[in-house]
Chains A and B, each alone.
Chain A
Amino acid sequence: MYIYNDFDAEFVRDRVRQFRGQVEKRIDGSLTEDEFKPLRLMNGLYLQLHAYMLRVAIPYGSLDAAKMRQLAFIADKWDKGYGHFTTRQNIQFNWPLLKDVPDMLDALADVGMHAIQTSGNCVRNVTADHFAGAASDEIEDPRPTAELLRQWSTDHPEFQFLPRKFKIAITGSPNDRAVTKAHDIGIRMVRNENDQPGYEIIVGGGLGRSPFIGKVLREFLPKAELLPYIEAVLQVYNLEGRRDNKYKARIKILVHEAGLDEIRGSVEETFARTLAEFKKPSDELVDQITTYFNPPEFNNIQSHAYEEALETDPVLRSFVETNVAEHKNPAYGIVTISTKPIGGTPGDVTSDQMRLIADLAEKYSHNEVRISHEQNAVLPHVRKADIPLVHAALKAVGLATANIGLISDIIACPGMDYCALATARSIPIAQEISTRFDELKLEKEIGELRIKISGCINACGHHHVGHIGILGLDKAGVENYQITLGGDATQTMALGERAGPGFAAEELLPALERLLNRYLEIRECSDEIFLETYRRLGPQPFQQALYPEEEKYAA
């Protein structure tokens, strides 16, 4: 859990007070929308297609039971009894009334949460590996660094008006679950040849209109130099980033246009100064943060009950196969709770479900819950002996879908069901895919497959890095879906390639069926996942499956 210090608490209350006054003035007409809009955006309040939407930050995706319960309370009292988890590890409420928003923000502040810096051209919510502090493959827990970055960036006077928004992600594991290469800055915790801890700094990644894979700006940065270095990157960007064109204002364009070496030169030059000038966080603060994230006291007693339960309960076994990941402590497992029941809306969780997750976190996971960029919830530290109980409890509220990493574990942005920027819907597409492949009983057979859907070119649904990416567009007044193939969101990041012309909504599902049937025919063995087959054979066999008519003409 992140630390909410006195500074934060006061700052947040202050902002709520100010915003309450601003809302009153907007309602009585003394503030125009032009005046009010930047103020509401600074407080995470958007106006969408059917209603306002409040976006609440969940720093590096970490929640505890009290926070989760408060989110449930807010969903019941001021919304329609649910919330939507996003690919930025935020939660969005889709139906607040303008007059209620200050109360919602006060309720958030009661548990140390807020909606600040979830919008606007500032450093946004820092995201991190959702298995942080638990994963067996981890070199070091990234959360102390994420917290340091959060404190440094919160209300940073110099970086409130950057050329464009700025997103930072961090992972402490070589297996990148935080999509670091698609962020303005990606940070990987590494060790140098002398086994000293430090960071690899990646810059200029991003999806959206012009997707770029981040490039390594600094291979090894000693741990103590992180903040002055990031400060230097931001200063260079603040100065040199383009402000003339919104679509060219992200740091990825600066890196692309100026070249990596040039930017590296400017950053190192600036860094020489920032390093000398930087007022280091006190050792006390660093210690306090590190201590805060010390691993909980694990109970190492192994239990045979778990193995026995697995033997006798095939449903549990199937759940464990997909939804439980290896914990650094062999007596524990990391339980991912899928927010994607067959036919459901990816990322949506009801207030009752939130309360159950809170109870389980408290009872079985050292009071910790994570939200993943894949829009799922995670109980990071569950004793294996408790997993059968957790599974049974989840099952009772429809949260035990065993599909993590499979075809129905789809990332989908809100699309045109909610989002004012959308060019087409994404949610119904996700619902149809998961329903159809469940009917066909092909999910397990197909195995690992990452489908990611965005409702417009902004790519909040990460479609470029889906094994299969789907982008919804408006083609002459009809929803049309473009397919990309071969994307990869991990440390081996790749941008998917466009397969060909888009599909009308009703053509999309049959096309995907042809595509995946072809995959099943041509994969080398059942262990070769879709992405591997694609990498081995290239796009051609898949294009033939998607566009059989064209093949006929070509023949």
Chain B
Amino acid sequence: MAREFTPQIVTANDLLLGDAVYLTKAGTWSRLHSDAHLANSAEQAQTMLKHVKGQQDVIVGAYLANVSVNEDGIPEPAHFREAFRTRGPSNYFHGKQADAQSS
């Protein structure tokens, strides 16, 4: 039996703003976790990660993050650290949570 694979996404920090960004299916970067493209196998995850290594002028520090997939097929952070990255700090209404409201 194949080892069970936890779905993953590729995330990084934006070079100019420094905030969290997510690799989409189209190979672009989105500020929304829900736009992230799912890797359903370890090979696919590695290929996606390798692909973005060349995007040094857009992002910093790409890595794979585990996700769970909700009933609509949308990835959700599996770990609290990744959940915080989708929102911003908890002491002020700053970061993504504020951007989401103003946009």
Contact = CB atoms under 8 A, between A and B. Distances in A.
B18 A417 contact: no
Contacts of B19: 50-51
A27 B85 CA distance: 23
Interface string B60-98: 110000000000000000111100110011111011100
- Per DSSP, chain B at the interface is loop
B18 A27 contact: no
B84 A49 contact: yes
Contacts of A47: 13, 18, 60-61
B15 A27 contact: yes
Interface residues of A, number: 32
Interface in A30-58: 32-33, 47-52
A397 interface: no
A29 B90 contact: no
Contacts of A474: 80-81
Contacts of A422: 81
A80 B16 contact: no
Interface string B1-44: 00000000000010111111000000000000000000000000
B47 interface: no
A26 B15 contact: yes
Contacts of B94: 50, 80, 95
B46 interface: no
Contact of B90 (A26, A80, A99, A428): A428
A290 B85 CA distance: 49
A119 B91 CA distance: 25
Interface in A395-438: 416-418, 422, 425, 427-428, 431
Contacts of B13: 47
Given A27-B15, A97-B17, A417-B90, A50 B95 contact: yes
Contacts of A428: 90-91
B56 A29 contact: yes
A190 B73 CA distance: 68
A52 B18 contact: yes
A33 B95 contact: no
B90 A427 contact: yes
Interface string A136-147: 000000000000
Interface string A474-485: 100111000000
A50 B89 contact: yes
Contacts of B17: 51, 97-98
A289 B24 CA distance: 58
Contacts of B84: 49, 416-417, 425
B79 A477 contact: yes
A422 to B, nearest CB: 8
Most central of A33, A48, A50 by chain B CB within 10 Å = A50
Contact of A477 (B16, B80, B85): B80
A345 interface: yes
Contacts of A26: 15
8 contacts: A47-B13, A47-B18, A49-B85, A50-B88, A50-B95, A99-B16, A422-B81, A425-B84
Q: What 3 A-B pairs come out closest when comparing CB atoms? A: A29-B57, A417-B89, A51-B18
Interface of B: 13, 15-20, 56-57, 60-61, 78-81, 84-85, 88-92, 94-96
